[in-house]
Each structure stands twice: as structure tokens, then as C-alpha cells.
Amino acid sequence: MKIININKEQPLQHTEETVLVLGYFDALHRGHKVLFERAQKLARQKGLKVAVLTFPESPQLAFSRFKPELLNHINYPEKRFAKFKEYGVDQLYLTEFTSAFSQISSDDFINHFIKGLNAKAVVIGFDYKFGHNKTNSDYLERNFDGQVITVPEVTYQGEKISSTRIRKLIKQGEVAQVNDLLGYEFSTRGIVVHGDARGRTIGFPTANLAPIDRTHLPADGVYVADVLVGGRRYRSMTSVGKNITFGGTELRLEANIFDFERDIYGETIEILWLSKIRDMVKFNGIDDLIAELKADKEIALNYRKNIVKS
């Protein structure tokens, strides 16, 4: 898959004919996957390449009052790009969503970005809008001489699958539902750093992580999670939040990795969030904490739920 940065000012001269998929695609969830399945099918039928035009950052940065969470993503860039490739994308075009971009007319968007990328067909979601006046698919069908495929709403448990819904569930700690909507596991990467080493003294050593990506973290709590270390997958119970039993005031991300003993300081590992076990609780003493951790471990060891993939 080729990744190509483009902008409105530069001329686009791409000779390969494409099926062009349009959208932001932060989550690349099961609803998005349907668009790419349609694009792949059409590309095979017509001998075309599958291309995507999207943005590296949220378009909301150009419209909304700034909040730090606007810089966060559901997937870190490398994972997002890998999913595009998995979904059959041959050419990934990235352009910045700026104030100037938001003022592009619908006709200029069609002429520069759709025709300029040699699209013979376009695939969009039912709620896709483009141009400064937020034109819909009807306008595109009237003013683009190629094929326009509009994919209808995709639902799960009676509600639209959307990135907004997924972000809300992440904030609530409902990571099992997040995975069902994504069709794969929501994850967080971090570098293993030194912490207080308190877990080691009570029989539950943890890998303390410093997150390295601008991705959303689930709500404070203890979770069943798998951990990727050096290409191998291990079960764990992983906590995110302040260590309130010991008077902690800083956010901590800690993974107690089962059947794992070697030191991995400085290594980057990935947490695959599977299910929430409980909220963070302040315990009366060490004995109560150890008893709860033993119960948490049993839950994590016995967790076997598979995510929904279709």
C-alpha cells in the first residue's frame, strides 16, 4: 500500500484508475469495513485500484473549540494504516483538514480530489458530506460521471455503528462492546518504565507503561487484557487509573502479565483490551487488596469471549 500526502495546491497526476473511498475512518470499524468490501468487489470487476482520501487528524480541530481529547485517536497511525491495507487499499491519500480545506466548493472538490485521483467510481457512507456547503451523495451523482456507491447505515444491537459511539464506550470502559463494534481488539501501546515496584512485593508484579500514542484510554478500572510482547501474546489483568489504595494521584497504566518473568524495561508493548472486571477501589489494607487481585486474576484467566467479526 502506498501512502501519499497531497494538498489542494499541488496538481494531482495519477494515471492508475481507482475506486475512491471517502471518509475520516478514525475507527475503521465494522461499518467502515462494508465500504471497503464494496470497493474491493467493484475494483475486481473493473480492474481498478482501491484508493482512499482521508485525514491524519480529526476535522473537528478546524471547527470546534480546542480540547486535548480532539488530538486523540481510536487507533494509533501504524495500526490504522495496517487496517487500511488489510481492507484492500492500494493507495492511501492523506490531506490536512484545515480552514482552507473546509472552504473548498463541492465542484472544486470533485474536480481536484475525485477526478484528480482518477476515480472511476466513488464509495461513500450514507451520511458523508463534502465541500463547504456539506453537499451529499445526490450532488455527487449529478456532477460526477463515474459510478457512485452509497452504503446504507450499518447497525449493531439496533444502533448505528459509529466512531462517536465507540469513543463514548471507551470512556465508559465498555471495551468488550468496543471490540464488537470494531471487529478487532482496541489497543494501547506503551514503553515499559520503572514504577514503585509495589506489586512485586505482594506477588503481583506489573509492567508500568508510559503510553506513546495519542489514543483514547478506557475508563479507570481493572481489565482483562492480552499483552503483545516481542510478537507473543500473553493474558494479563491490566489497570488504568490512580492507585488510590496507596494514595496515588497520578494516572497509572499497569499490566500484571501472567506466566511472564523477564524484565522488559524500555520495550514497547501493546495492551489489547478485552473486558472490564471492576472499577478502581480503595481497599482497607494489603490483605483485602491481595484477595481482590486473586479474584481478578481468576476472572482474567477464565475469560474466553470472542469479538464479533461480521
Highest mean pLDDT among 106-115, 269-278, 282-291: 269-278
The CATH number of whichever domain residue 90 belongs to comes to 3.40.50.620
Residues 109 and 22 in one domain: yes
Residue 207 is assigned to a structural domain of this protein: yes
Residues 170 and 297 in one domain: yes
Sheet architecture: strand order including 119-125: 2-5, 91-94, 49-54, 18-22, 119-125, 147-151
- Choose one of 95, 127, 152: the last residue of a domain: 152
The total of structural domains in the chain comes to 2
Residue 307 is assigned to a structural domain of this protein: no
Residue 308 is assigned to a structural domain of this protein: no
Q: How confident is the model at residue 245 (pLDDT cuts 50, 70, 90)?
A: low
pLDDT at 197 over 70: no
Residue 116 is assigned to a structural domain of this protein: yes
Compute how many other C-beta atoms are within 10 angstroms of the C-beta atom of residue 3: 14
* pLDDT one-digit tens code per residue, 118-166: 999 999 999 999 988 888 889 999 999 999 999 999 999 999 999 999 9
- Choose one of 152, 180, 202: the last residue of a domain: 152
Average the pLDDT over 85-105 and give the result: 95
- What pLDDT is recorded for position 310? 54
Residues 88 and 138 in one domain: yes
Residues 123 and 178 in one domain: no
Residues 212 and 133 in one domain: no
* Domain assignment of residue 210, given as a range: 163-302
pLDDT at 246 over 60: no
Q: How far apart are CA 129 and CA 292, in angstroms?
A: 50
Q: How confident is the model at residue 204 (pLDDT cuts 50, 70, 90)?
A: confident
Outline where DSSP puts E strands in the chain: 2-5, 18-22, 49-54, 91-94, 119-125, 147-151, 155-156, 159-160, 187-193, 207-211, 221-229, 232-241, 252-257, 268-278
Percentage of residues in the chain having pLDDT higher than 70: 94
pLDDT at 263 over 80: yes
Residues 147 and 167 in one domain: no
Residues 105 and 173 in one domain: no
* pLDDT one-digit tens code per residue, 26-66: 999 999 999 999 999 999 999 999 999 999 999 999 999 99
Residues 197 and 250 in one domain: yes
* Structural contact between residues 196 and 247, judged by C-beta atoms closer than 8 angstroms: no
Q: How confident is the model at residue 9 (pLDDT cuts 50, 70, 90)?
A: confident
Residues 83 and 35 in one domain: yes
pLDDT at 249 over 70: no
- Choose one of 152, 172, 188: the last residue of a domain: 152
Residues 138 and 177 in one domain: no
Average the pLDDT over 206-210 and give the result: 94
* Structural contact between residues 20 and 122, judged by C-beta atoms closer than 8 angstroms: yes
Residues 140 and 263 in one domain: no
Residues 141 and 190 in one domain: no
Q: How confident is the model at residue 250 (pLDDT cuts 50, 70, 90)?
A: confident
Q: How confident is the model at residue 304 (pLDDT cuts 50, 70, 90)?
A: confident
Residue 175 is assigned to a structural domain of this protein: yes
Residue 157 is assigned to a structural domain of this protein: no
- The number of residues making up the chain comes to 310
The CATH number of whichever domain residue 278 belongs to comes to 2.40.30.30
- What pLDDT is recorded for position 248? 53
pTM: 0.92
